[in-house]
């Protein structure tokens, strides 16, 4: 029988299963559940945090027991050796969640993010139509960038599922953890998970090149070797999708080049100018009225002009090409925010806070 919630006066030994908290999270339409020492469970709802005050503060021992309920022996080993672990879990009638558990001040902290029950249609995400064409590329590198929680994984899942519907391809995904489960339609999809199927993104990416892939999804560009191999895969006829934790297209290009030693950067600029096809930079923002989230996105399509800027190391001029590239399917973050604000999807304060250039956006919004 499931224990009662952690209310005042309940002993810490009376620890229920974590799925009770996840059920509460789903019923309140929360995006995330936070478990941290000396605080009751906390939910993220419409972008803000809400403490579940009907629960008492959790002790480090409480959290350890709750987290270990969902870890495999291998995941326990990873957590205790590397002091953090990522995984995905699912419960019938509740849903799937991405879990990040890590140590802070010697105790385990955990965040569980609710995943969509189904892979959304690309048309329903609020992205420009130019993004749809990326599914039809024969080869090259496409990046989806943004902070944690900006919807990168959802965008990529929608792209991969669209390719799955349209083409007879061999698709290999390398993820940490596997978030969305794909079902073979026109394509064959094999999903590999770090610490379960392979030890690193770089190892999995090198291995995938021997598996006759048409499309490769790399969950994240974390290190030089992964970036190098991904660029090489894109150059040699594969379509590669991946993510970066970067704010916009310009910083994404600079970051990829900057991880390489100075003596290699000219060569990498040349390779990237040929292989990079597009960068989508995302933010998820609270909707006006406080209910729901709206997607703001900058889209850079690599034209011959932008390719030349990358090759010459003049990334600082890319933003001007974005600003004038509307007819080519591009948009800046400010243009996206202006559309959302004028449509009433987000308020002006939210738009200005999210802008790279708030003064420019403010001037546009004040101009009727």
Please state, in angstroms and rounded to a whole number, the distance separating the CA atoms of residues 331 and 319: 10
**Local confidence band at 15 (pLDDT 50, 70, 90 cut-offs):** low
Q: Which helix (H) or strand (E) holds 113?
A: strand 107-114
Q: Taking residues 281-287, what's their average pLDDT? A: 94
Any idea of the CA torsion for 147, 148, 153, 159, to the nearest 10 degrees? -10
What does 210-270 look like in DSSP terms, one character per residue? TS--SEEEES---SHHHHHHHHHHHHTT-EEEEEE--SSHHHHHHHHHHTS-GGGHHHHHH
Residue 17's pLDDT band (boundaries 50, 70, 90)? confident
Residue range 172-195: average pLDDT? 94
* pLDDT value at residue 11: 42
CB-CB contact of 350 with 361 (8 Å): no
Could you report the per-residue pLDDT of 205-250, keeping only the tens digit for each?
999 999 999 999 999 998 999 999 999 999 999 999 999 999 999 9
**Sequence-distant (≥ 6) Cβ neighbours of residue 314 within 8 angstroms:** none
Longest dimension (CA), the chain: 67
Q: In this structure, what token pair is assigned to residue 190?
A: 């094999």
Report pLDDT digits (tens) over 292-310: 889 999 999 999 999 999 9
Question: In the structure encoding, which two tokens stand for residue 106, read together?
Answer: 């010697």
Report residue 48's pLDDT band, with 50, 70 and 90 as the boundaries: confident
What local confidence, expressed as pLDDT, does residue 196 receive?
Answer: 86
Instruction: With a cut of 50, say whether residue 8 has pLDDT above it.
Output: no
Burial class (CB in 10 A: 0-12, 13-18, 19+), 302: buried
Give the mean pLDDT of 98-123: 93
Pairing type for strands 215-218 and 84-91 reads: unpaired
Other CB atoms within a 10 A radius of the CB of residue 249 amount to: 29
Mean pLDDT for 59-71 is 95
What local confidence, expressed as pLDDT, does residue 368 receive? Answer: 63
Domains in the chain: ranges and CATH: 18-114 (3.30.450.90), 122-331 (3.40.50.300)
Residue % of the chain over a pLDDT of 90:
83
């Amino acid at each position: 029988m499931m224990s009662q919630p952690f209310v005042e006066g309940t002993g810490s030994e009376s620890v229920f299963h974590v799925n009770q908290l996840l059920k509460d999270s789903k019923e309140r339409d929360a995006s995330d559940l936070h478990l941290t020492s000396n605080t009751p469970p906390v939910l993220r709802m419409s972008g803000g945090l809400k403490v579940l005050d009907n629960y008492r503060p959790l002790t480090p021992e409480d959290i350890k027991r709750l987290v270990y309920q969902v870890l495999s022996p291998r995941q326990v080993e990873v957590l205790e050796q590397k002091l953090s672990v990522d995984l995905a879990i699912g419960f019938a009638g509740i849903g799937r969640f991405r879990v990040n558990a890590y140590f802070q001040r010697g105790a385990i902290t955990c965040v569980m993010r609710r995943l969509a029950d189904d892979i959304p249609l690309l048309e329903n995400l609020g992205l420009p139509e130019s993004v749809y064409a990326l599914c039809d590329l024969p080869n090259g590198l496409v990046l989806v960038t943004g902070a944690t929680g900006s919807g990168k994984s959802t965008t990529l899942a929608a792209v991969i599922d669209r390719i799955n519907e349209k083409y007879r391809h061999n698709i290999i995904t390398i993820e940490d953890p596997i978030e969305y489960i794909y079902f073979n339609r026109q394509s064959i999809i094999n999903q590999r998970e770090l610490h379960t199927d392979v030890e690193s993104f770089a190892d999995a990416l090198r291995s995938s090149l021997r598996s006759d892939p048409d499309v490769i999804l790399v969950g994240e560009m974390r290190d030089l070797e992964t970036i190098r191999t991904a660029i090489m895969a894109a150059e040699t006829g594969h379509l590669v999708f991946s993510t970066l934790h970067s704010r916009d297209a310009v910083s994404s290009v600079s970051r990829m080049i900057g991880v390489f030693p100075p003596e290699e950067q000219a060569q990498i600029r040349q390779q990237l100018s040929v292989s990079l096809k597009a960068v989508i930079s995302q933010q998820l923002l609270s909707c006006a009225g406080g209910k729901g989230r709206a997607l703001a996105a900058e889209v850079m399509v690599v034209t011959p002009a932008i390719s030349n800027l990358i090759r010459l190391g003049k990334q600082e001029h890319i933003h001007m090409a974005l600003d004038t590239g509307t007819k080519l399917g591009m948009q800046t973050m400010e243009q996206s925010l202006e559309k959302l604000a004028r449509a009433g999807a987000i308020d002006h304060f939210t738009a200005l806070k999210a802008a790279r250039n708030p003064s420019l956006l403010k001037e546009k919004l004040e101009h009727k």
